[in-house]
């Protein structure tokens, strides 16, 4: 399955691999990828990962590695021993160029794409200022700068908010992968996300992959929810 044929990536944010596998099995006809995050991987490790990945859907392994270069390189090397290999893994761009370069080298010749988180979609302009980002510049400007650093470090793309996609696409070009959380169909609750967009507006801005969790997984009918989103995008 081409992981980019359908841009919908369902976020399986549960610590229960059996539940995640069952949900993904029912949704696989309507999504192009699934995200496994810290909640499941920290609870069950490679065994839990294999159970979910066994559903046959490409996996975005969202662990956001962020440490000194040697430690991150070792972590990525360990992830490259998973079977099947994840389609995408990620690090934090704020770890710096040396860390990202070490992560890229650790992927080696594997087909796995490695991307960097710019600014979390749960951070507003005020939140970014609170943790030390330049108050004279917007979150979109900071995100574009981090994306350029990630590209210079040999990474394949970034995770960014819907607000940042257009600027990153302009700065980094059409081949640089953009993975977008904070996607909320019309009428969906924002939850803990602060910078959000509809699937249609994110795609129009240049998003490649849309990470969508609760609007699908917490819907009364997850299959109908996933189908509706994919259909609205022409997939």
Percent of the chain with pLDDT over 70: 94
Domain residue limits at 61: 8-232
Chain Cα centroid distance, residue 117: 8
Single out the catalytic residue among 28, 35, 64, 97. Answer: 64
**Residue 158 above 60 pLDDT?**
yes
Q: Any residues with CB less than 8 A from the CB of 126 and at least 6 apart, and which? A: none
Report residue 115 as tokens: 């991307």
Q: Report if residue 2 sits inside a domain.
A: no
Which DSSP state fits 86? P
Residues recorded for the chain: 235
Q: Report if residue 91 sits inside a domain.
A: yes
Which of the four pLDDT bands, split at 50, 70 and 90, describes residue 3? low
Report phi then psi at 159, rounded to 5.
-100, 130
Task: State how far the Cα of 21 lies from the Cα of 232, in Å rounded to an integer.
Answer: 25
Range name among 58-62, 137-141, 188-192 with the lowest pLDDT average:
188-192
Q: Please indicate whether residue 64 is annotated as part of the active site.
A: yes
The partner residues of 19 in beta bridges, in order of sequence, read none
Closest CA to 205 of 147, 163, 234: 163
Q: Report if residue 27 sits inside a domain.
A: yes
Q: Report if residue 1 sits inside a domain.
A: no
Q: Report if residue 224 sits inside a domain.
A: yes
Task: State how far the Cα of 164 lies from the Cα of 139, in Å rounded to an integer.
Answer: 8
CATH number of the domain bearing residue 154:
3.20.20.70
Q: Report if residue 21 sits inside a domain.
A: yes
Q: Report if residue 3 sits inside a domain.
A: no
Quote the number of domains for the chain.
Answer: 1
Positive/negative CA dihedral, 188, 165, 126, 39: positive
Task: State how far the Cα of 233 lies from the Cα of 235, in Å rounded to an integer.
Answer: 6
Which of the four pLDDT bands, split at 50, 70 and 90, describes residue 1? very low
What is the pLDDT averaged over residues 170-195?
Answer: 79
What is residue 59's three-state secondary structure?
A: strand
Task: State how far the Cα of 33 lies from the Cα of 216, in Å rounded to an integer.
Answer: 13
H or E segment and range at residue 90: strand 88-92
């Amino acid at each position: 399955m081409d992981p980019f044929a359908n841009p919908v990536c369902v976020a399986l944010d549960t610590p229960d691999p059996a539940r995640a596998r069952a949900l993904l099995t029912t949704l696989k006809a309507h999504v192009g990828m699934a995200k496994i995050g810290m909640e499941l991987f920290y609870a069950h490790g490679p065994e839990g990962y294999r159970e979910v990945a066994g559903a046959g859907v490409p996996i975005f392994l969202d662990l956001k590695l962020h440490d000194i270069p040697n430690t991150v390189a070792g972590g990525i090397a360990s992830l490259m021993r998973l079977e099947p290999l994840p389609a995408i893994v990620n690090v934090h761009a704020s770890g710096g160029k040396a860390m990202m370069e070490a992560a890229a080298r650790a992927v080696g010749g594997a087909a796995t794409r490695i991307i960097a988180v710019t600014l979390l979609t749960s951070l507003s302009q005020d939140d970014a200022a609170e943790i030390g980002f330049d108050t004279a510049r917007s979150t979109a400007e900071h995100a574009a700068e981090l994306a350029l650093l990630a590209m210079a470090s040999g990474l394949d793309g970034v995770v960014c908010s819907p607000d940042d996609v257009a600027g990153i696409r302009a700065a980094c070009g059409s081949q640089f992968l953009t993975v977008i959380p904070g996607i909320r169909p019309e009428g969906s609750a924002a939850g803990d996300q602060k910078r959000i967009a509809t699937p249609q507006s994110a795609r129009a801005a240049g998003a490649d992959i849309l990470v969508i969790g609760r609007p699908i997984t917490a819907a009364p009918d997850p299959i109908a929810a996933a189908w509706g989103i994919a259909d609205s995008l022409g997939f």
